[in-house]
């Protein structure tokens, strides 16, 4: 059906709602009729719910009982392109449609009438009395009098209290008016000058611009070391897209959505783009949602869920740091925003740019196979060069068991601090110590709700479970044997590392960057900016710092435990470690001073460490691809994870075993089932978790088979089943 389909009053329409029902419901089109795709309010039992007209009604209900649509909402109807995107994403991720629709309507108050707010502009009157505060307002208004402001803006910008403004309204010096709250975003100007590009940047821009003009779907892997100008290049692709009159979306891992980045975008296009992220207020979200639908927002910079906004004409999706695990939603609808971006673009004739210094193996293989185009930026922009990388062989270092900064690393850090440069000590472990051990009985303090260890957070004076977030005060006695004062921290966390650094570098300013030390994402970003500007000499950080921020004074990166991540059964462990090492190393020497990266390791001859040090990326990928191909695992085969969970472990295993035995639907496509086994984290929030893993060949209809297979069991009571297609992590 096309967007032109219209249902006359009284015609039967099928409405998809966000309620967990397994079908669209029949209603009668309201007075005046409605378009296919219209957002509507319908009665459901005693309630009113929001839905979308999804097609003609099925007509399988008693026509006398079919109720009428109550009203059509005042927003643009959902386009057919968006409807098929949601349907195909649902089929891919095996997600029920109502959950998909919830994802696509995550803005509050969509059903409300467009709300109004008060705005203020210059009026005709003159004040009865002139005060300093009033003069400030008048001077401000004589400069900007043709613009209008909210009370808060005007008070802040002219430096007076709101009562001053209200007083001026009374005398008609200012006019108070009602204006709609959801106003268009300021227009972007793609014709502002770009930077002067290097040759390989210019070649990349030319290729992306040509694709933008063709208005065809294409995906391009944009590869280049940190600092090579990937952002410059894709911003020109954004310009080309905007010049076509189409909308553009730049997806970033949430933490990379920094003020610094937004400023760059603003400089390039002369106005601030729409920002979609978890920190956005409810009214901002609603404004973006609506404006994207009408074309009043041309450019959206957002975290992964921005992919589900109702764009009017989306022409480009950039996925920056495309390898980042933050793109995989691990709760609710399990989707990978990178893959869904490709799906959406292929439906609406848009181009996708996947930017990364260290692409995922999936994208690398797709580019090798010719499914994606590929652009390589081979050198860093300007004088900065890739850091020199060396390993520190920890077997040869003289270091007591409770310390982690080797003498070699220590003297390198000292040398930087003396020169007024910055050093980063990277450790991907939050908190003080990963294990709290009783020296009397050997007990390791664990979470009461999960099978995970409690991590000491000395800063918060609590133990915390990194799985469920449960915290408890630091106990004085061992919870197992009651011995007092016997609990000891084992292993390093960033907080503990900072104590060691304070002792080793007493004259240095030391800053710890870890997500849990900040009340909000905003506070964290502010701190990052201050540190980047030089507020610290030694930075201690978790993987947060690996994500795309500029530290111009940083010339040394010390990776405390390069072996972390090499262990473990995760099929992507090697890839993750390689990417992380490369990115962290990429922080060093971004500006003029050349950087050094030192990797502390007990296995300097491990292939991942060696490839990292050699900077041999193609070599690493080729080896890793060969290994996965031989094992028939993604991206050379397909996988699905099934997690069954419930409060009763026996019941959970019963159902899992039943599924494992009745695997005919899977055998029909040549797929195998592994398990059931306790999930690596066998209990979360008191729920026991059992995992089955399905492995299949590349070209098979995996989702259909899995859907038929899991439909064999009926989930009673508190039992839950989650399907994770293309699982990224295995917890
Ligand atoms: P990446 O996204 O690959 O990490 P960026 O686009 O952020 O790289 O570029 C790194 C730095 O170099 C930025 O400060 C950017 O403004 C600057 N830069 C890159 N290319 C150019 C250019 N052609 N002219 C001027 N500055 C550039
Ligand atoms: Zn827990």
Domain boundaries, the chain: 3-104, 116-180, 199-377, 388-429+492-624, 638-725
Mean pLDDT, the chain, integer: 87
Atom 15 (ligand 1): residue with closest C-alpha?
Answer: 229
- Residue 3 scores a pLDDT above 90: no
Is the CB–ligand 1 distance for residue 356 below 6 Å?
no
**pLDDT band at 731; cut points 50, 70, 90:** very low
Q: For the ranges 360-369, 562-571, 614-623, which has the lowest average pLDDT?
A: 562-571
CATH class assigned to 116-180: mainly alpha
The reported pTM is 0.79
Nearest CA to ligand 1 atom 6: 229
Instruction: Point out the ligand nearest to the CA of residue 451.
Output: 2
Name the residue with tokens 């297979």: 709
Both tokens assigned to 595: 């950087």
Alpha carbon separation from 692 to 147, 177, 189, 641, 710 (Å, rounded): 61, 61, 51, 6, 11
Return the ligand 1 atom nearest residue 548 CA: 4
Structural contact between residues 240 and 215, judged by C-beta atoms closer than 8 angstroms = no
pLDDT of residue 22: 80
Q: Tell me, using a 6 A CB cutoff, whether residue 22 lines ligand 1.
A: no
Tokens representing residue 375 in the block: 């652009």
Bigger pLDDT: 350 vs 574: 350
Identify which of 229, 253, 554 to mutate to test ligand 1's pocket (most ligand atoms within 8 A of the CB).
Answer: 229
Q: Identify the pLDDT of residue 536.
A: 93
Q: Is the CB of 196 under 6 A from ligand 1?
A: yes
> What is the arithmetic mean of pLDDT over 523-532?
80
Cβ density class 226-240: b for 16+ within 10 Å, e for less: bbbbbbbbbbbbbbb
Q: What is the pLDDT of residue 176?
A: 86
Backbone phi, psi, residue 690, to 5°: -125, 140
Span from the CA of 228 to the centroid of ligand 1 (angstroms): 6
Pick 199-377's CATH classification: 3.30.750.24, 3.40.640.10, 3.40.50.150, 3.40.50.300. Answer: 3.40.50.300
Report pLDDT for 281: 75
CA distance 198 to 227: 13
- pLDDT tens figures, 9-21: 999 999 999 888 8
Mean per-residue pLDDT for 30-52?
93
Same fold, 199-377 and 388-429+492-624: yes
CATH architecture of 388-429+492-624: 3-Layer(aba) Sandwich (3.40)
pLDDT tens string 437-458: 999 998 999 888 777 788 898 8
Query: In percent, how much of the chain has pLDDT > 90?
Result: 45
Pocket of ligand 1 contains residue 195 by CB under 6 Å: yes
Ligand nearest to the Cα of 202, by number: 1
pLDDT for 127 equals 85
Read off φ and ψ for residue 240, nearest 5 degrees: -65, -40
For residue 465, the CA-to-ligand 2 centroid distance in Å is 5
Is the distance from CB of 574 to CB of 609 less than 8 angstroms? no
Q: What do you get for the CA distance between the two ends of the chain, in Å?
A: 42
Segment among 225-229, 296-300, 385-389, 670-674 with least mean pLDDT: 385-389
How far is it, in rounded angstroms, from Cα 228 to Cα 233? 9
Atom of ligand 1 nearest to the CA of 357: 3
- Tell me, using a 6 A CB cutoff, whether residue 224 lines ligand 1: yes
Q: What is the pLDDT of residue 222?
A: 97
Top-confidence range, 111-125, 366-380, 625-639: 366-380
Cα-to-centroid distance, 595 and ligand 1 (Å):
17
Characterize 320-351 residue by residue with b for buried, 16 or more Cβ atoms within 10 angstroms of its Cβ, and e for exposed: bbbbbbbbbbeeebbbbbbbbbbbbbbbbbbb
Chain-centroid distance, C-alpha 74: 30
Give the phi and the psi of residue 561 in degrees, each rounded to 5.
-135, 85
Q: Is 229 in the pocket of ligand 1 (CB under 6 A)?
A: yes
In short, whether 230's Cβ falls inside 6 Å of ligand 1 is yes
Cα four-point dihedral sign 601, 607, 612, 614: positive
Is the pLDDT at 399 greater than 80? The verdict is: yes
Cα separation, 133 vs 135, whole angstroms: 5
Cis before 635 (ω within 30): yes
3-class secondary structure for 635-694? CCCEEEEEEEEECCHHHHHHHHHHHHHCCHHHHCCCCEEEEEEEEEEEEECCEEEEEEEE
Class of the CATH domain delimited by 638-725 = alpha beta
The fourth-level CATH superfamily of domain 3-104 is: PriA, 3(prime) DNA-binding domain (3.40.1440.60)
For a pLDDT cut of 70, what percent of the chain falls above it? Answer: 91
């Amino acid at each position: 059906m096309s967007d032109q389909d219209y249902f006359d009053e009284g015609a039967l329409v099928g409405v998809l709602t966000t309620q967990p029902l397994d079908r669209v419901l029949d209603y009668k089109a309201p007075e005046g009729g409605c378009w296919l795709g219209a957002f509507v309010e319908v009665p459901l039992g005693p309630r009113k719910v929001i839905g979308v007209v999804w097609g003609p009604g099925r007509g399988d209900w008693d026509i006398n009982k079919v109720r009428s649509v109550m009203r059509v909402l005042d927003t643009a109807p959902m386009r057919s392109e968006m409807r098929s995107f949601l349907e195909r994403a649902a089929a891919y991720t095996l997600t029920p449609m109502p959950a998909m629709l919830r994802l696509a309507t995550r803005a509050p108050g969509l059903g409300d009438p467009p709300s109004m707010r008060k705005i203020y502009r210059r009026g005709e009157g003159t004040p009865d009395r002139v005060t300093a505060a009033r003069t400030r307002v008048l001077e401000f208004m004589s400069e900007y009098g043709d613009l209008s402001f909210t009370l808060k803006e005007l008070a802040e910008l002219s430096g007076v209290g709101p009562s001053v403004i209200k007083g001026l309204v009374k005398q008609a010096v200012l006019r108070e008016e009602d204006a709609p709250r959801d106003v268009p975003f300021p227009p972007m100007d793609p014709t502002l000058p770009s930077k002067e590009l290097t040759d390989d940047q210019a070649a990349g821009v030319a290729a992306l611009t040509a694709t933008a003009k063709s208005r065809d779907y294409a995906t391009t892997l944009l590869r280049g070391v940190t600092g090579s100008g990937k952002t410059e290049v894709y911003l020109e692709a954004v310009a080309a897209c905007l010049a076509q009159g189409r909308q553009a979306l730049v997806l970033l891992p949430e933490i990379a959505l920094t003020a610094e980045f937004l400023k760059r975008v603003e400089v390039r296009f002369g106005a601030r783009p729409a920002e979609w992220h978890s920190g956005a207020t409810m009214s901002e979200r609603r404004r973006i949602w609506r404006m994207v639908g009408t074309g009043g927002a041309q450019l959206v910079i957002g975290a992964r869920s921005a992919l589900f906004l109702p764009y009017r004409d989306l022409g480009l999706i950039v996925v920056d740091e495309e390898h980042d695990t933050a793109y995989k939603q691990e709760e609710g609808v399990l989707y990978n925003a990178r893959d869904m971006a490709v799906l959406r673009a292929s439906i609406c004739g848009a181009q996708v740019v996947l930017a990364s210094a260290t692409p995922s193996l999936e994208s690398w293989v797709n580019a090798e196979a010719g499914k994606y185009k590929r652009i390589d930026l081979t050198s860093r922009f300007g004088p900065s060069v890739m850091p020199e990388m060396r390993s520190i062989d920890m077997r040869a270092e003289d270091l007591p068991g409770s310390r982690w900064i080797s003498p070699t690393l220590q003297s390198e850090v000292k040398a930087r601090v003396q020169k007024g440069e910055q050093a980063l000590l990277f450790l991907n472990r939050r908190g003080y110590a990963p294990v709290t051990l009783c020296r009397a009985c050997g007990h390791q303090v664990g979470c009461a709700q999960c099978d995970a260890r409690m991590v000491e957070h000395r800063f918060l004076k609590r133990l915390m479970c990194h799985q469920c977030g449960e915290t408890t005060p630091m106990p004085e006695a061992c919870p197992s044997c009651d011995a007092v004062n016997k609990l000891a921290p084992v292993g390093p966390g960033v907080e503990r590392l900072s104590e060691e650094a304070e002792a080793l570098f007493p004259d240095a300013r030391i800053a710890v960057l870890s997500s849990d030390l900040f009340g909000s994402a905003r506070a964290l970003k502010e701190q990052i900016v201050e540190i980047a500007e030089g507020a610290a000499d030694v930075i201690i950080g978790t993987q947060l710092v690996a994500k795309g921020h500029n530290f111009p004074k940083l010339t040394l990166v010390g990776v405390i435990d390069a072996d972390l991540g090499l262990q473990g059964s995760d099929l992507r462990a090697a890839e993750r470690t390689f990417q992380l090492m490369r990115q962290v190393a990429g922080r060093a020497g971004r500006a003029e001073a050349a950087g050094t990266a030192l990797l502390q390791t007990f296995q300097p001859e491990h292939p991942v460490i060696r490839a990292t040090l050699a900077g041999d990326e193609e070599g690493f990928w080729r080896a890793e691809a060969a290994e996965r191909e031989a094992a028939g695992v993604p991206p050379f085969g397909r996988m699905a994870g099934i997690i069954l969970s419930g409060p009763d472990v026996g019941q959970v295993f019963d159902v899992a075993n039943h599924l494992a035995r009745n695997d005919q639907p899977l055998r029909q496509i040549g797929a195998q089932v592994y398990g059931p086994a306790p999930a690596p984290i066998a209990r979360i929030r008191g729920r026991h978790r059992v995992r089955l893993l399905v492995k299949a060949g590349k070209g098979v209809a995996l989702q259909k088979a899995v859907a038929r297979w899991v439909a064999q069991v009926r989930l009673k009571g508190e039992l839950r089943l989650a399907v994770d297609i293309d699982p990224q992590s295995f917890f």
